[in-house]
Structure 1
Amino acid sequence: MAAPSSFPATSTSTSVIAFIIPILSLFALFTGAHSSTIGVEYISRLLEIQDRERAPPSVQLAAARGVLNRLIPSHSSSFDFQIISKEYCGGESCFAIDNHPSSGQLGTPEIMSERRDFKMMQISLISVHSSSAPYGLKVQVSLGSDGGEILENLALAKGNEKISGFTAVELLAGLHWYLKFWCGAHISWDKTGGAQLVTLPKPGSLPLIQDGGVLIQRPIPWNYYQNAVSSSYTFAWWDWARWEKEIDWMALQGINLPLAFTGQEAIWQKVFEKFNISGPDLGDFFGGPAFLAWSRMGNLHGDTFDENTPPIDDPEYISSLGAAIFKGMQSGDDNAVWLMQVGVGMSMEGIEQNPVVYDLMSEMAFQHNKIDVEDKNRDVIVAFPDVDPSFISTLRMPGQKYHDNRKKLSRRELLIYTADSDSFDQPHLWYSTSEVLHALELFIKSGDELSGISTYSYDLVDLTRQALAKYANELFLEVIKDYQLNDVHTVARHGKKFVDLVEDMDTLLASHDGFLLGPWLKSAKQLAQGKDQEEQFEWNARTQITMWFDNTQEEASLLRDYGNKYWSGLLRDYYGPRAAIYFKFLRESLEKGDGFGLKNWRREWIKLTNDWQNGRNVYPVQSTGSALNISRWLYNKYLRDASTYNH
């Protein structure tokens, strides 16, 4: 998985990234900053450095104006932007939204001049009404502990809006807040539906803010974004056009602390070359372009304590090692920062999915509320078991509940261990499938009215996909139960139904651009320079989403399905055929009566994987078919029967 000895040239452009703090190292997220005096003092000093090195207001305003022009060019003159001081914000970072004086509604937001004890404004009620106006909305906002209302009714009137912020990021977060809560707009990634701005009134008719305006502070200085592996699972093949969209999205979400080590290998390359290290040697040192995150974390060459046990159980040893690492950082930069457990934010391994979750999470950076999202899904299709079927449990746990008291469920309770066999987590659910099916039914019924909306189409495909994936889990358990009962005919019937379902799901995924394999492979090849690099990049792209390449002919890699995706093309040509091989061995095992041929099964599916990784066949980059019609068809075919699921 060596990277090439040369890197594509990159372009640069003035953008809000200049005001987003890049970081070099990351260990953990989602907890507050250290509460000790030393921790508070260090963070205060870091904030002072950050404020001192911030770009001039004129540059920040130009960057914010650029985002506005790219997002809604028709409204480029509808918003007045202004950079304000922390003192104006009450000592914290903030944004403020007010009517522009030209709108005829003069006044200063109450809390800007009179409420310096203000800590946080929380949206406590949002309801959308039907009215004769194009968009009707009532928002009640609570201030501090007294719960006093500052903002009550919004009205449609001609005029512009004035949005202020401590930095360009806060300013754009305020713009997003206004578009979201005053105009009913939604801003998302293109793959999940893109920016939905049809509810935005025409210039000159934007909703005015009554009673003086609104100011919202950040309760925590930093809003973090990305996992260390996001750069590989999602960003690996991006060009500048895609990066610019992401930087704009980050600013609109109020993100001011993204992980930013894109291109660090190019710097290392220049440094190593000064020490006369050859290109071939560097090629063996760097990870492949789809695995740079894996190598950046030290997983290819050795690290400190990433998912391993320290060799010495001595706190002084661990402390001295950490001190040595930080000393090395400071030797290169007096202001080096080793970020550990600071701020709030999002640390997903990949993006361009679950847009509602991430929209809410970014909003939480400006609220005191918290959310708790757990992911306990396991889908057989994209994480197929590499075990003898005799050791897979087909029984549900007695009294198992799927959407209540989820933390009481132990995944280990669903395993069967033996001394000489691999174990396999039984496919399971933590939510009520009946509720999901009811939601899907309502979605489909709304299709005639909503099918033209891209976000609806994305959600419809995603919801149908999820329901069918859980049905596939049930089918798989039926096959295993049939096998354990020595019923070869039912194994064949249920196995065929499983493979047919995977094929049908591929047809569903092909109906939306956000679920296609083709763009991933095409973007990898487009980034390459020359035919050899194109083949290498495509191999990297195919390998990352299937099985990482440290296997033998009879021993599968432990990192199989590590980066699996529900993409059209991947299901039809990889996941489906792999399942078919497994079911073939089940049938042959029962027919011959000599037990499951685990090594032979592994030999065949590993070969399937390696052949697919080395393939060069081209996949579609544009969707085909009607998402609504296909979802209706699949719902009627597989899900309408109430007995589809066991619960």
Structure 2
Amino acid sequence: MKSSRLPSLLLIPLLAASSLLAASAITQREITAASEVIKRFTDSEGPRLRIGGIDSENGNPVYATKATEEGLTISGSSGVAICKGFYDYVKSQGAGISSWTGKRFELPILPELTGKETKVVSPVKYHYYFNVVTYGYTMPYWDWPRWEKEIDWMALHGIDMPLALVAHEAITARVFKKLGLSDKEISEYFVGPAHLPWMRMGNISGIDGPLPEEWHKDQVALQHKILERMRSLGMTPICPGFSGFVPPAIKRLYPDIKLVETHWAGSFKNWMLSPDQKLFTKIGKMFVMEWEKEFGPCSHYLVDSFNEMDVPFPPHGTPERYKLLADYGDKVYQSIKEGSPRAVWVMQGWMFGYQRNIWDPKSLEALVSKVPDDKMLLLDLAVDYNKNFWNNGTNWDFYKGFFNKDWIYSVIPNMGGKTGMTGVLDFYANGHLEALNSPNRGHLAGIGMAPEGFENNEVIYELMADAGWSDKPIDLDAWLKNYDICRYGDTDKALDDYWKIIRQSVYGSFTDHPRFNWQFRPGRIGKGSINTNPEFYQAIERFASCANDFRDSDLYVSDLTELTAAYLGGKIELLIQASEMAMQDDNMDQAKRYEQEIEALMSGMDRLLASHPIHRLDVWLNYARKHGSSQELKDYYEKNARRLVTIWGPPIDDYAAKIWSGLIRDYYLPRRKEYLKAKFDPSVKIDLPAWERDWVEKNRGVSPVSPFEDPVAAARELIARAAKVSPDIIKQPEGILIGTWNPETVGTEWKELSWSVSPSALKQAKALRFSYTKGTNKLEISHVRIEMDGNTVADIQQNGTTGIENINNVYRFRIPQDAQGNNSCRIIARVRSDGQADSRGNVELIPISQ
């Protein structure tokens, strides 16, 4: 690897710099905490550095840097601002980076010693981070060392408003117990740790419960450390409040209360206590008081009651609806206020873009109308979805600046912690400028990120963290070049080419749920959702072409293994489509050859990722097992961790879609082999859902694997091998192929077949076609229905057949504009074959363009 670094300055201890405090509001505690973050990042006492305080400007955080012969001086309005100032200086010198896969730091040389001060004022007061479900998909089993690293990452990236939900259930259990519920009634209501976010939002109950009592003690101790560190850096943590969800056993104590049974994703339920009942206010007040008794005062409390659920209010346009919503909002706020008069009610705004059929402007205006403007903060979570997926305009325009309430501009770059690549880099660099300059900006208070999971697509988070502190356009080409220098120590033309080309593919397009077809239950014949266009492969080949120059960079090697896995994943997807088509044509010898190559590439991908610092199943499971004080509890936590990253519930199967070493060799590949048993021998009967449940509930640990001695050489060899797999091996159907039928799946009696499909493909289609390809018997179809998130959105009663002659074999539909399928999307058909059921064919979506 080439190096352009010059000799660095000598290390000397950090100065406490109390003399630099001046009249600013920053405390010595924050300066000390910031200096400790810098020490941990630099693995030293720090460079020649003086740090101190500076006033914020109009309430917005500020930092200033100045280089002189005496060293570098950093002044900040908070501990976070100081850390951000130091980190930005390091990056300005190309001297290092802090990331989840590792860090790089070389002591920076000082620029020209002009003594000129560089001052940066954030355009907003807050910089938000986390999503409620991040506490499921990424963080449920973190220990303090991992949390400390994350808080350091947050401080260096200028994050000062994190969601802090650890120990939510411990406080909830105390409140329920004070009300008179038994330990058994409480523990049986709670779900397993990785699923707690959805219980908190009223979506689920019963999964992997009861929750062990030891969990609460562990989480309380952990949250004390988390909040202490966040506060010491000047962060404003958002803590949980009471959202109204209670165990049904509460009716034993209050038989006259009205509980509403909530439903989610077609299969799950919880129980909601309406805010119009006095018990809601009582519990809300008790929760806040119990929280502050344990953890001290909190200024912001998160309360969400309608996550992806219907609103139990009268129809749009009726005065009663808006009155009830206004009263509802008032009751929720009052329940917080009674526990903490100074507190602000924080609410997630996912539903504002996702469910506009429910949340029209008048409904939201009514909900917030009785809450003081300075006592509410709305999280506009998913601007990237508004702009790049739903294409339904921005929420700040639709809701007219959020009716004078403070709000946070935010994005959701990831669903479920999926490791697939996606995201429009140009948007993440400069999309926030539209909000900053909008006439409907209103009380824009912050910019943030709310991924459902992270430790993936790291460039997006680095970019967004920089964007949140800037009101000027970012030159993305220059930014990416500096990113390479900071991350790898240098750059070259191959890396420049990589970024130019990849921005014509996965980093120039937005995919709601990026998954390969092999990450779904086998039998899905169509393509996955990752944008594996020709530029995708070309870009990764360019990245790998400079491997010998950068093999000494740990971060380059990690990125190479990750990108190679993505490359192989796309080629495996092609092979699976070709194999399924060969089996459909009864060409089993050809299918077996494809399957041999699939196994070779999947095994190579898995072994390569064994060298990756975090994309490994053993890392995930080890965090879970460390929480158990006994073998039984260790096994319990592991089972829960396994469930979330595979079957989830079901029915939200394969939602998390991790491309991890261990998960590939122990789950995805063996599941496919199980599926192939029946394909290659029709006398074999298999039950894939049962196989999946057994994997979650009965298996423990990860099978052994030996990482490649030279992962760089292995990556290049695997890319060269996979490059030979061409899209030409697939016979392209006229429509979008989503599935097949064959003698193993149909019979002479009526039965239902089901095929998963992406919501985006469904919304771009106008009909479903059954196309016979081979066999002596026709297929009869009597009924087709389409389900999104468990709700039927199309139901077509039509008798049709496909065989030598096609009669009514096209089923037309229209998906309602407001229909959503974030968690699951299925097409279900009632079919049978005549004669001996010797019938084969394809099921295709017909695009609107045809």
Q: TM-score, normalised by structure 2?
A: 0.52
Q: Structure 1: any 5+ residue segments left out of the alignment?
A: 1-53, 104-158, 395-425, 550-556
Alpha-carbon distance, 1:622 to partner: 9.2
What's the counterpart of residue 163 of structure 1? Answer: 74
What's the counterpart of residue 441 of structure 1? Answer: 541
One of 462, 469, 483 as aligned partner of 2:583 = 483
Segment of structure 1 superposing worse, 233-242 or 161-170: 233-242
Q: Does 1:323 align with 2:338?
A: no
- Where is the strand percentage greater, Structure 1 or Structure 2? 2
One of 161, 165, 170 as aligned partner of 1:266 = 170
CA contact (8 A) 1:223 1:256 kept: yes
CA distance in 1 between partners of 2:529 and 2:627 (Å): 39
Alpha-carbon distance, 1:336 to partner: 2.6
Q: Does 1:94 align with 2:62?
A: yes
What's the counterpart of residue 365 of structure 1? Answer: 468
One-letter amino acid of the structure 1 residue matched with residue 178 of structure 2: K
**3-state SS, counterpart of residue 451 of structure 2:** coil
1:377-396 → structure 2 map (5 Å cutoff)? 377-384=514-521
CA contact (8 A) 1:574 1:612 kept: no
CA contact (8 A) 2:608 2:715 kept: yes
Judged with a 3 Å threshold, the aligned counterparts in structure 2 of structure 1 residues 174 and 645 are, in CA distance, closer, same or farther, namely farther
1:26-37 → structure 2 map (5 Å cutoff)? none
CA contact (8 A) 1:518 1:620 kept: no
**3-state SS, counterpart of residue 567 of structure 1:** coil
What's the counterpart of residue 375 of structure 1? Answer: 511
CA contact (8 A) 1:521 1:538 kept: yes
One-letter amino acid of the structure 1 residue matched with residue 154 of structure 2: M
What's the counterpart of residue 81 of structure 1? Answer: 51
What's the counterpart of residue 625 of structure 1? Answer: 709
What's the counterpart of residue 787 of structure 2? Answer: none
One of 605, 609, 630 as aligned partner of 1:509 = 609
What's the counterpart of residue 142 of structure 1? Answer: none
What's the counterpart of residue 202 of structure 2? Answer: 298
What's the counterpart of residue 177 of structure 1? Answer: 88
CA distance in 2 between partners of 1:169 and 1:316 (Å): 42
One of 224, 228, 236 as aligned partner of 2:140 = 236
One-letter amino acid of the structure 1 residue matched with residue 176 of structure 2: F
What's the counterpart of residue 61 of structure 1? Answer: 31
**3-state SS, counterpart of residue 97 of structure 1:** strand
**3-state SS, counterpart of residue 99 of structure 2:** coil
1:131-280 → structure 2 map (5 Å cutoff)? 159-189=70-100, 192=101, 194-198=102-106, 200-201=107-108, 205-208=109-112, 210=114, 212-280=116-184
Judged with a 3 Å threshold, the aligned counterparts in structure 2 of structure 1 residues 63 and 239 are, in CA distance, closer, same or farther, namely same
What's the counterpart of residue 554 of structure 2? Answer: 454
Judged with a 3 Å threshold, the aligned counterparts in structure 2 of structure 1 residues 547 and 295 are, in CA distance, closer, same or farther, namely same
Q: Does 1:574 align with 2:667?
A: yes
CA contact (8 A) 2:518 2:576 kept: no
What's the counterpart of residue 634 of structure 1? Answer: 718
Alpha-carbon distance, 1:351 to partner: 1.7
CA contact (8 A) 1:492 1:583 kept: no
CA contact (8 A) 1:479 1:491 kept: yes
CA distance in 2 between partners of 1:641 and 1:474 (Å): 8
Alpha-carbon distance, 1:77 to partner: 5.3
Judged with a 3 Å threshold, the aligned counterparts in structure 2 of structure 1 residues 623 and 336 are, in CA distance, closer, same or farther, namely farther
What's the counterpart of residue 350 of structure 1? Answer: 453
Alpha-carbon distance, 1:55 to partner: 8.0
CA contact (8 A) 2:645 2:654 kept: yes
CA contact (8 A) 2:624 2:634 kept: yes
CA contact (8 A) 2:574 2:727 kept: no
Judged with a 3 Å threshold, the aligned counterparts in structure 2 of structure 1 residues 270 and 625 are, in CA distance, closer, same or farther, namely farther
What's the counterpart of residue 41 of structure 2? Answer: 71
**3-state SS, counterpart of residue 291 of structure 1:** helix
**3-state SS, counterpart of residue 135 of structure 2:** helix
CA distance in 2 between partners of 1:57 and 1:381 (Å): 53
CA distance in 1 between partners of 2:148 and 2:727 (Å): 48
Q: Percent identity?
A: 30
One of 671, 694, 711 as aligned partner of 1:610 = 694
Alpha-carbon distance, 1:97 to partner: 0.9
CA distance in 2 between partners of 1:365 and 1:308 (Å): 31
CA contact (8 A) 1:479 1:494 kept: yes
Q: Does 1:430 align with 2:531?
A: yes
CA contact (8 A) 1:172 1:254 kept: yes
What's the counterpart of residue 145 of structure 1? Answer: none
CA distance in 2 between partners of 1:359 and 1:234 (Å): 18
CA distance in 2 between partners of 1:444 and 1:644 (Å): 24
CA distance in 2 between partners of 1:645 and 1:467 (Å): 17
CA distance in 1 between partners of 2:177 and 2:530 (Å): 52
One-letter amino acid of the structure 2 residue matched with residue 349 of structure 1: E
CA distance in 2 between partners of 1:644 and 1:471 (Å): 12
Judged with a 3 Å threshold, the aligned counterparts in structure 2 of structure 1 residues 579 and 68 are, in CA distance, closer, same or farther, namely same
One of 543, 563, 587 as aligned partner of 2:656 = 563
One-letter amino acid of the structure 1 residue matched with residue 605 of structure 2: M
Alpha-carbon distance, 1:645 to partner: 8.1
Give aligned pairs, total: 475
Render the CA deviation track for 1:589-628: whole Å, top value 9, x for unaligned: 5xx8xxxx9xx54x23422442343212345699553221
**Structure with more relative contact order (C-alpha pairs < 8 Å, separation 6 or more):** 1
CA distance in 1 between partners of 2:724 and 2:95 (Å): 34
Render the CA deviation track for 1:488-526: whole Å, top value 9, x for unaligned: 333333233323322222112112232221121122111
Alpha-carbon distance, 1:56 to partner: 5.2
Render the CA deviation track for 1:374-410: whole Å, top value 9, x for unaligned: 235331122235x6x6xx5x5xxxxxxxxxxxxxxxx
**3-state SS, counterpart of residue 311 of structure 2:** coil
Alpha-carbon distance, 1:180 to partner: 0.6
Alpha-carbon distance, 1:262 to partner: 0.9
Judged with a 3 Å threshold, the aligned counterparts in structure 2 of structure 1 residues 641 and 621 are, in CA distance, closer, same or farther, namely closer
CA contact (8 A) 2:601 2:718 kept: no
CA distance in 1 between partners of 2:59 and 2:129 (Å): 24
What's the counterpart of residue 307 of structure 1? Answer: 308
Render the CA deviation track for 1:96-150: whole Å, top value 9, x for unaligned: 11125xx2xxxxxxxxxxxxxxxxxxxxxxxxxxxxxxxxxxxxxxxxxxxxxxx
CA contact (8 A) 1:512 1:624 kept: no
**3-state SS, counterpart of residue 61 of structure 1:** helix
Judged with a 3 Å threshold, the aligned counterparts in structure 2 of structure 1 residues 361 and 588 are, in CA distance, closer, same or farther, namely same
CA contact (8 A) 2:617 2:702 kept: no
One-letter amino acid of the structure 2 residue matched with residue 71 of structure 1: F
Q: Structure 2: any 5+ residue segments left out of the alignment?
A: 1-23, 205-269, 273-304, 316-320, 347-377, 380-407, 409-445, 477-507, 733-850
CA distance in 1 between partners of 2:565 and 2:96 (Å): 26
What's the counterpart of residue 148 of structure 1? Answer: none
CA contact (8 A) 1:236 1:289 kept: yes
CA contact (8 A) 1:80 1:160 kept: yes
Q: TM-score, normalised by structure 1?
A: 0.68
One-letter amino acid of the structure 1 residue matched with residue 457 of structure 2: N
One of 183, 187, 191 as aligned partner of 1:287 = 191
CA distance in 2 between partners of 1:76 and 1:495 (Å): 54
One-letter amino acid of the structure 1 residue matched with residue 103 of structure 2: A
CA distance in 1 between partners of 2:44 and 2:81 (Å): 22
What's the counterpart of residue 335 of structure 1? Answer: 342
**3-state SS, counterpart of residue 85 of structure 1:** coil
CA distance in 2 between partners of 1:317 and 1:586 (Å): 57
